Amino acid sequence: MYLSRLHLRNWRNSAEQVLELPPEGAAIIGDNGQGKTNLLEAVYYLEIFRSFRGAPDEQLVRFGEDVFRVEGTLTAPEGGERTLAAAFERRRRKKKVTVNGAEPERLGDALGLVSAVIFSPSDVELVAGAPGERRRFLDIVLSLAEPGYLAALQRYRHALFQRNTLLRQGSPRALVQAFDDALVASGSRVVAARARWVAERAPSFAEHYARVAGGQPGSLAFAPSVDLPQPTPPVDEVARTFAAQLERVADRETARGMTLAGPHRDDLRFTTASAEGQPLDLRTYGSGGQQRTAAIALRMVEAETIRETRGRESVILLDDVFAELDPGRSRRIIEWIDAAEGGQVILTSPKPGDVQIHGGALPQWSMKDGVARPM
């Protein structure tokens, strides 16, 4: 499947336009602030129905307008078609998603249909930023790849919110504990899925990191808040440990007025090795380029997960990712895209010479004032 058509109306700085995209994709070239990232944001909106930049829907509506609409047509090489659309009304704060014209029963049913992965300069925050960035990453990948994950996560957030409210108000322990079963049942599903995903994908992360970094080692590990008895425990074992841990921190929770154990405190760790072979935490000690490399390796692993889950190539969106990388790293990323993926690539750059994907054969488009057109 590739994105053959994109129809935008009042999306960011774009009034209305219809783009017919070739199966191999396009290189979108334009000066700063013209709308290149906005365009990729629109494509990815059809994957998760949220802004990849974390912008609230209101901000996506063109200034002075009330409703945006994004519609994409996916075409299979064999000929099948699927149309996804999303519209948001600012005044009534209403979002409507349709797949082939019909509203899905749950939004979750419409997630991941584009099979897109986006690489962006802000991905460096996945490594250098706060733990919440990494949990958000895990939650998006696992919501796209694992049936039931999103529902468990939503139940967990609900139970956590209620429990934290009671703790903050200094409610009696028995009232707080009334939420423990729900917290443990949903939370252990979330933790078990995260642990399994990281364990499965860590070898591939290490491979990607080493290749892009020209041989330097890099590793990915899960840093769970609940002490896991083994790297990939079954859900009921996580539940047992989680419940026991809540018992142990009960007094501290009362004192601090919040829940102190659970997946809302999970993290990921990225490490490389020093010249002497000592492990170095990339979040604390990594150079900008090393942190970017780890973020790119993580996105590559995400692309693999999506490809395996959906059983087809992912649409790769590259938002000006080569700007801060040395030429060797850029070349090796391009080799990966050409070799392993081979599907549609939509990339942006302010400089025309920058982009050598598919041997420089990607059709070039210009972007000016929110309007993209073939050059």
Binding residues (CB under 5 A) for Mg ion: these are: 37
Q: Which is nearer to Mg ion, 10 or 37 (CB)?
A: 37
Is the C-alpha dihedral spanning 349, 42, 318, 360 positive or negative?
negative
Determine if 13 is a binding residue for ligand ATP (CB under 6 A).
Answer: yes
Long-range contacts of 236-241 (CB under 8 A, 24+ apart): 236/188, 238/188, 238/191, 238/192, 238/195, 239/184, 239/185, 239/188
Q: Which is nearer to Mg ion, 37 or 271 (CB)?
A: 37
Count of residues engaged in binding ligand ATP, rule: CB under 6 A: 15
Q: Which is nearer to ligand ATP, 190 or 346 (CB)?
A: 346
Determine if 36 is a binding residue for ligand ATP (CB under 6 A).
Answer: yes
32 binds, options ligand ATP, Mg ion, none, Cβ within 5 to 8 A by partner type = ligand ATP
Calculate the CA dihedral of residues 302, 55, 51, 150 and round it to 10 degrees. Answer: 70
Q: Which 49-78 positions form the footprint of ligand ATP (CB under 6 A)?
A: 59, 61-63
Any alpha helices (H) in 95-169, and if so which ranges? 124-128, 131-145, 149-168
In the bound complex, what is the minimum distance in angstroms from residue 289's beta carbon to ligand ATP?
A: 19
Q: Which is nearer to ligand ATP, 13 or 366 (CB)?
A: 13
Which range touches ligand ATP (CB under 6 A), out of 27-35, 112-120, 145-153, 202-210? 27-35
d(Cα 165, Cα 173) in Å, to the nearest integer? 13
Helix (H) or strand (E) holding 287: none
Partners of 26 in beta bridges: 346
Q: Which is nearer to ligand ATP, 255 or 323 (CB)?
A: 323
DSSP 61: B
d(Cα 121, Cα 323) in Å, to the nearest integer? 8
The answer to whether 225 touches 261, Cβ cutoff 8 Å, is yes
13 binds, options ligand ATP, Mg ion, none, Cβ within 5 to 8 A by partner type = ligand ATP
Quick one: tokens of 131? 């733990």
187 binds, options Mg ion, ligand ATP, none, Cβ within 5 to 8 A by partner type = none
The answer to whether 287 touches 89, Cβ cutoff 8 Å, is no
Determine if 32 is a binding residue for ligand ATP (CB under 6 A).
Answer: yes
Determine if 34 is a binding residue for ligand ATP (CB under 6 A).
Answer: yes
Q: Which is nearer to Mg ion, 37 or 115 (CB)?
A: 37
In the bound complex, what is the minimum distance in angstroms from residue 41's beta carbon to ligand ATP?
A: 7
In the bound complex, what is the minimum distance in angstroms from residue 42's beta carbon to ligand ATP?
A: 10
Residue 73: name the closest of 150, 7, 160 by CA.
Answer: 7
62 binds, options ligand ATP, Mg ion, none, Cβ within 5 to 8 A by partner type = ligand ATP
- Please report, as ranges, the residues that interact with ligand ATP according to CB under 6 A: 12-13, 30, 32-38, 59, 61-63, 350
